[in-house]
Structures are given as structure tokens and as C-alpha cells.
Amino acid sequence: MAVYTQVSAEALGDFLARYDVGELVSAKGIAEGVENSNYLVETTQDRFILTLYERRVNADELPYFMALLDHLAAKGLSVPPAIKDRNGVAIQRLEGRPACLIKFLRGVSVSHPTPAQALVAGGALGQMHRAVEDFALDRPNSMGAQTWQALFEQCGRDLDRIHPDLYDRVEEALDQVLARWPTDLPTGAIHADLFPDNILMLGDQVTGLIDFYFACTDLRAYDLAVMHGAWAFDSTGTDFFPATGHGIVSGYRDAFELSEAELAALPVLAQGASLRFLLSRAWDWLNTPADALVTRKDPLAYLRRYDFYRTFDPATTLQGVNADPFLA
């Protein structure tokens, strides 16, 4: 969430000369995305995002992300593909880092999504899943269910420094969730991190899906569960907003498809998604100095979500789609 690598105006001018994008007019370091350096660049022709990839993105995986974005853009989805230079090259090097010049998308990320915005956002996820049905590449989910136990063990008893008994709570939760983790649901390329931050909107219209650097091959309904937990609660995980949650799930189902089996699995998938963000936040919490100039995100906001998703009565999911708490 900062600019880690400084790019001089002179180096940026030289970089842009590789492309057919006009001359440099303005460049501002921007504070967004995962741990990359980003600039909003204006040329005489257009605006772009310049991304320099820092440690969290493995350069070897950039071709997967860029192929996915190209695929989605070719299907008409509003995603930001990398611009190709005069030689057709999208992934460059700049200031010693892998770097891409990326299409700029209009829109803002809402902080308090309305049910109407949740409906179109869920629809956008459904459109994405439909669009990748013929996408050929695979990438394992580096933060998927099979990784949580190891991350839990890396955090270890330090978890209790965040909250007493957190270690025991997570140990038990992982046992329960992983024992019931579904294996026979449809898979595909998923976004895996579609928080409100990562959807650009203007009013009630989606103008862009961004930040695909956790995209991978995994259960499609898991993507929906991640989104449900990210959109339908206040930031502390205390208050659940049923109409917003309903918008996410019904928007998705209307735009694509959601089987009875996927719907029935949403509670355990949402419990798992809660543990995934609990664990990554806990790891960051334990490894970020308290006085660093980054905001540590509270892991307990996801323990609260986990507890919420445990109280779903599985029986209600058997009464048909319209009685499902996710669609209530």
C-alpha cells in the first residue's frame, strides 16, 4: 500500500518510449493494491497504471495473471489487461523489477456497499466464472485450504498474543472445516480476493474488476464464499448485512449458475474463507512492527465471521434455494 520502488521521470519517459502510447504528461505514485509499487501515469493519449511487482508477487506467475486478464478482456469483461509494447511484450523490467503498463479503469471502490451494489458485484463474479469456462491455464491456490494447516503451525502459540485461546480456537476450527471440505464441486479460475476494494463502481454499475494477483484454480463456490464474507459484514465482522449477502449470492446465481451442492457447501466454504483471512492477517500482525506505518488488519474480525457462519442451520439449506440463509 505504498510506493516501494521509485521510478524517476526520466526512466519513466524512456520506458514509455517502448510503447505506442504517446508522451509522458504526469505520473503520481499511488497507494493501492497488494505489495506492489503503482503509478497513475498520464500520457498525451491516455491514462495507465504502471505496476512494479515487489516481493509478494512471484514474477514466474505473471504470465498466468496476464493471460487470465487478456482472456477476460477478450470476452468483454472490464478488467485491466497489460498493454503490449511495440514488440508485443507485456511483462517488462523497470528499476530492477518486473513491470507492466496496465489499462486504467474508471470507477471507485465503495466502502459501504448497498444491496443493489452487492447484486451487480455478485453478478460480475458470475460473469467472470462464465468467461473462464474455456480458460486453459491452471495455477494452484497459494492460499488455498491445503495451505492453512501449515500457516497455522507457522503462527503457532504466538496466536495467543493476539487473543487468549486463539491458538486452540483456530486448531479446532481448522479440524472441523478441513474434515468437511468439499472436493466434488465445480472448479475454475477464481479471483480469490474479490473484496469491495477490488471492484470499481460508478453508482450501481461495475466498471472494473482489479487486483487479480491471488487468482488461481479452485472451487468456484469458494470464490463466492470469500466475496460473501468480504461484502456482507462491517469491517469488524460484528454486524452482518443480510440484504447485501443476499445480493452477492443471487447476483452470482442470476449471472451464471449455482448448484444445490454449491449452495449447500457455502457455510463450510465461508467458514474456510474466514479462517484463510484470519490466518493471513494473524501472520501479518505477528510479523509487522506495531509502529510501522501500515495499518494492521484485525485477525479477530474474521474469527467473528467464522463464528457467524457456524450458526447457519444446515437443515435450512435442504429446504430449497429460497429458504437458504445465503439467499434469505
Tell me which residues touch a copy of itself (CB under 8 A): 2-3, 8-10, 12, 24-32, 40, 42, 106-112, 200-202, 289, 291-294
CB of 3 to a copy of itself, least distance (A): 5
35 vs 171, beta carbon nearer a copy of itself: 35
CB of 199 to a copy of itself, least distance (A): 11
Q: Which of 188, 180, 190 is nearest to 264 (CA)?
A: 180
Instruction: Report the distance separating Cα 171 and Cα 101, nearest Å.
Output: 43
Element (H or E) spanning 126, and its range? helix 115-131
CB of 319 to a copy of itself, least distance (A): 36
CB of 40 to a copy of itself, least distance (A): 5
106 vs 180, beta carbon nearer a copy of itself: 106
Q: Report how far apart, in Å, the C-alpha atoms of 110 and of each of 18, 113, 143, 206, 297 are.
A: 35, 6, 25, 11, 18
CB of 154 to a copy of itself, least distance (A): 21
3 vs 300, beta carbon nearer a copy of itself: 3
3 vs 321, beta carbon nearer a copy of itself: 3
109 vs 316, beta carbon nearer a copy of itself: 109
CB of 135 to a copy of itself, least distance (A): 28
What is 213-274 written as a DSSP string? TT-EEEEHHHHHHHHHHHHSB-TTS--B-HHHHHHHHHHHHHHS---HHHHHHHHHHHHHHH
- Under 8 Å between Cβ of 189 and 216: yes
* Cβ neighbours for 225, distance < 8 A, ≥ 6 positions apart: 266, 269, 270, 272, 273
- Under 8 Å between Cβ of 109 and 209: no
17 vs 328, beta carbon nearer a copy of itself: 17
Instruction: Report the distance separating Cα 319 and Cα 328, nearest Å.
Output: 12
182 vs 196, beta carbon nearer a copy of itself: 196
CB of 44 to a copy of itself, least distance (A): 10
CB of 269 to a copy of itself, least distance (A): 28
Instruction: Report the distance separating Cα 52 and Cα 96, nearest Å.
Output: 9
Instruction: Report the distance separating Cα 157 and Cα 284, nearest Å.
Output: 15
Instruction: Report the distance separating Cα 19 and Cα 12, nearest Å.
Output: 11
208 vs 325, beta carbon nearer a copy of itself: 208
* Cβ neighbours for 12, distance < 8 A, ≥ 6 positions apart: 24, 27, 39, 41, 50
- Under 8 Å between Cβ of 223 and 129: yes
